[in-house]
Every structure is written in C-alpha cells, then in structure tokens.
C-alpha cells in the first residue's frame, strides 16, 4: 500500500521541503528557491557544505552558515578539545543572492579551516571599518561632538561645534589623526592667543584633549598630543577678570531707579529693568520672562523659571523659584491688566519681529539713556543684591545682629551649592527665609527710590 503524501506546503519536523537527503554542495536551484519562497509556512533548504536558507514566522527568508570549531577543554580529558557548532548569518534573500551566499559561505569556510571564527573576524572588520572612517581629524571631531551633544544643552553644543569649525578644522580638519603633532595644535592655540582670545583658547584645548582621548580609545593613536597644554601655565598668564560695573549703596541704587522712571524709555524697557532690579535675575531671564511662569495672585507671589532657561542646568532638574517682593508685584499686576491679563506670552514683547525686548536694549538703556556707562549694568543688580544681602548673613560663630543665611542668599541667586544634600535641603526648606530676603530687598529699594533714609540692619562682625 502506498503511503499518503503530505499536504502541500507542509514542512517536516525539521522544516525542510527537500524530498530526499542530498549530499554534496551547491544543491539548490533558483527555481526551487522561488517556488518555496512563494509557498506559505516555515522552511529550511540546505545547499550543502553548511549553507541553509530558512524562514521562520513572518520573517524574510535568510541565509545562514552552520560550522563547527575546535574548543579547548580544561577538564582534563584525553583529547583536550571538542567540536562546538556555530551559526553565522549571511543576510536575507533576495537581497543576498544564491551566488553571493555561496561566496560568503566559502570565504567563511576558509577561516574555519585555518582555525578562525568567522563571526568574530566579521566583528573585528566592522570595528576596523568604523575606525578607518575616522582617520581624519574632522571625522573624529564630528563623531566626538555627536556623542557629547546628547548630554549638552543646545546652546553649549552650538558654541562648541562653532569653535572647532572656526579655529581647529581649517588647519587640522584634513590631517590624519595619527599624523597630528603638538606643533600643529600649538599653531591653532597661538593664533587665538595672539588675538587676545585666551578664554577661547582654553576651552578649545579642553575639547582637543577630549577628542584625542576618544581617538586613543578607538586605537587611532597611542598618545594625546593636546596633553602638552595640560600645565596650567601653558597658555600664559590668566587675563585679569573685569567685573561688570555695579552700584553698591542703596542711595545710589535709589537715584538710578528714579532716573529710570522719569526717562523717555518705553514702559516695557523700564519695567524690565525694574524686574531685574527687584529679583536679581540674569538679564536673559528678565527679557524673556513669560506670563505662564508667574503667580501674581497667590499667597506668596512667585516666578518659576524653567531649569532649561537657567545658566546652571547640569545636575539640577528643579525650576528656579523667584519670590517676588510686594513692591514689584503691584507694578506687575498693573502691567498685566494693561496688557489684557494674558495667560501666556512674553511680559515685554519686542518690536520689528522680535519675540521680546533684547538684552542689548536693556544694556543700552542703562549705559546711554541713563548715562551709567562704567557705573552700573543689568548684571550690576545681581552684584548689588549679593553684596548688600550678604552684609547681613548669619555668622554661626559670632551671632547677633545677623539676618540671613548665606545659603539662602546663594539659592535666591541660583548659585551652585556644595553637595547633593545641600541642594536637596535648599530646594525644600528655605522658601520662608527667601521670602524674608525678597521682602527686605524690595523694601530697601522702594525706600531708596522714594528718597527715604534706608535703615541698614547691623551686619555681623
């Protein structure tokens, strides 16, 4: 009696449709492959010498090469080795043709015959190919930048890339990484130093050292030519720090506020200056302030500046909360009503297509309109706040006559604090003290502007 034939399209338990076991190599034909590919279901076709075409589930048919390698044993057996089967993928069909699959199998078989593992060799080739693509400094610098940008702010990434494009790539870009010597880097740095750009040179050196360190990890060279600048004195004496001009007495600050109010500047410019004066925020935060971040009618009026908009962002995730003095709140409420009580938008809309007033407009207001060039700047309000409030900080050793803690003043300025514990503590438990600081600062400025005698609290010794 004849045995029943299997249903069409059904594979055996091994998933093969080969009607009989065939030995040898190059057994498959294009016609046979195409016929099987068009039939639904899993299959496994053998071409001989370890080459297979298989399909599982919804995946595309793919080529694989089955081989075995001798593996050393450490269990004290007589032979000391055993054969271990391995599988190597050769690509999907029809992207990889039958002819290409056979060529790849034969090449891998030669490696196996010489005792090499073709999978490991292919991985090494891929790494070597990646490294070869970074032989030029321009390619290595770009790869390093792309790795760094994931952890950088957009502005920092833009500045860093621009610095390399302007100062390093013109000379170093087309040079092989392995051929660059300290003398090449010195020429780049010396040009910046000759132009008086020591700070730019210092930042560029930091980038160059990091780029060549990355190249060393990739095996492009064994040293770091930028390490010649590791010595702190390698770039010459540091440039003397020039502080922003600032008035540091309340009578002077009051006179400035009075002059601002009677000037012919727009209300937006005058109020923006007042906002910066009463909150001691950075000028960029002041000009770009948005209504959606203000709570003018709460129990404690405040302004929450998104962390992404702050200068200090690394390692800190919470927004910067600014307590608003009552004297400032009144002015902001009037301005809010005059603008139609918007829920969103900028406090100080710009003109001629600008989203908001520019920092240059505020700087020019103080410098030229009010005539305070070299005497006071927008940043000077932060300096005045830091100086005058810290005259009244708590001195744990002396005690008496003191008003505020230094930590609370620093937190109000969003200065960096030492240690995660201190930062966590400041985030939650110093708002009451900061409210006292804001009220005191606002009252002092209001009294100074009115021409009243400001009663300075007795500072700690």
Please list the pLDDT of the chain residue by residue as tens digits (461 residues).
444 444 444 444 444 444 444 567 888 888 988 888 888 889 998 888 889 999 988 888 999 888 887 755 555 454 555 667 888 888 888 888 888 989 888 888 888 888 788 777 777 666 555 555 557 888 888 889 988 887 777 778 888 898 899 899 998 888 888 888 988 888 888 888 888 788 888 889 999 999 999 888 887 888 999 888 877 666 765 555 456 788 888 899 999 999 999 999 999 999 999 999 999 898 989 999 999 999 999 888 989 888 777 665 444 556 788 889 988 999 999 999 999 998 889 999 988 778 888 889 999 999 999 999 889 988 888 888 988 887 766 544 434 444 777 777 777 777 755 444 444 444 454 778 888 888 889 999 999 998 865 544 443 32
- Specify the CATH number for the domain of residue 436: 1.10.443.10
How many of the other CB atoms lie within 10 Å of CB of 253?
24
Q: Are residues 291 and 156 in the same domain?
A: no
Domain boundary pick from 229, 261, 278: 229
Q: Are residues 431 and 339 in the same domain?
A: yes
| Domain-embedded: residue 23 | no
The domain of 319 spans 250-450
- Specify the CATH number for the domain of residue 159: 1.10.150.130
- Specify the CATH number for the domain of residue 115: 3.30.160.390
Assess contact for 118 and 88: CB atoms under 8 A: yes
Q: Are residues 173 and 216 in the same domain?
A: yes
- Tell me how many domains the chain contains: 3
Q: Are residues 362 and 389 in the same domain?
A: yes
Q: Are residues 339 and 408 in the same domain?
A: yes
Instruction: Give the residue among 452, 442, 276, 447 at the shortest CA–CA distance from 366.
Output: 276
* Tokens representing residue 214 in the block: 């990355």
Q: Are residues 144 and 76 in the same domain?
A: no
Judge residue 350's burial from the number of C-beta atoms within 10 Å of its C-beta, 0-12 exposed, 13-18 middle, 19 or more buried.
Answer: middle
| Domain-embedded: residue 130 | no
Q: Are residues 158 and 258 in the same domain?
A: no
């Amino acid at each position: 009696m004849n045995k029943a034939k299997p249903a069409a399209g059904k594979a055996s338990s091994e998933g093969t449709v080969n009607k009989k076991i065939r030995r040898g190599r190059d057994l498959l034909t294009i016609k046979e492959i195409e016929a099987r590919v068009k039939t639904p279901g899993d299959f496994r076709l053998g071409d001989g010498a370890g080459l297979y075409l298989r399909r599982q589930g919804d995946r595309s048919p793919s080529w694989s090469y089955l081989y075995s390698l001798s593996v050393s044993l450490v269990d004290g057996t007589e032979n000391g080795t055993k054969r271990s089967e391995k599988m190597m993928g050769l690509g999907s069909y029809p992207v990889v043709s039958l002819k290409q699959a056979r060529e790849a199998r034969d090449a891998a078989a030669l490696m196996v015959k010489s005792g090499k593992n073709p999978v490991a060799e292919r991985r090494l080739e891929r790494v070597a190919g990646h490294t070869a693509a970074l032989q030029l400094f321009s390619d290595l610098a770009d790869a390093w930048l792309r790795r760094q940008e994931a952890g950088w702010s957009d502005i920092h990434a833009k500045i860093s890339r621009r610095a390399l494009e302007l100062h390093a790539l013109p000379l170093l870009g087309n040079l092989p990484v392995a051929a660059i010597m300290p003398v090449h880097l010195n020429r780049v740095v010396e040009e910046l130093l000759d132009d008086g750009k020591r700070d730019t040179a210092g930042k560029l050196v930091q980038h160059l050292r990091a780029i060549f360190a990355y190249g060393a990890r990739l095996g492009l060279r064994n040293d770091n030519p930028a390490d010649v600048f590791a010595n702190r004195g390698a770039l010459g004496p540091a440039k003397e720090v020039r502080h922003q001009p600032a008035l540091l007495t309340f009578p002077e600050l009051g006179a400035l506020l009075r002059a601002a109010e009677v000037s012919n500047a727009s209300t937006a410019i005058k109020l923006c200056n007042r906002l910066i004066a009463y909150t001691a925020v950075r000028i960029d935060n002041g000009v770009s302030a948005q209504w959606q971040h203000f709570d003018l009618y709460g129990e404690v009026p405040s302004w929450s500046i998104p962390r992404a908009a702050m200068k200090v962002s690394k390692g800190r995730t919470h927004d910067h909360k600014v307590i608003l003095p009552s004297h400032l709140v009144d002015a902001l409420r009037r301005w809010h009503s005059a603008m139609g009580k918007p829920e969103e938008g900028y406090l100080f809309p710009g003109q001629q297509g600008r989203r908001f007033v520019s920092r240059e407009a505020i700087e020019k207001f103080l410098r030229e309109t009010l005539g305070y060039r070299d005497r006071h700047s927008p940043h000077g309000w932060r300096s005045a706040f830091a100086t005058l409030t810290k005259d009244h900080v708590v001195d744990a050793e002396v005690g008496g006559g003191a008003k505020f803690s230094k930590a609370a003043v620093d937190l109000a300025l969003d200065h960096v604090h030492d240690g995660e514990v201190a930062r966590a503590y400041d985030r939650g438990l110093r708002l009451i003290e900061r409210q006292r600081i804001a009220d005191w600062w606002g009252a002092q400025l209001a009294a100074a502007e009115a021409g009243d005698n400001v009663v300075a609290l007795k500072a700690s010794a």
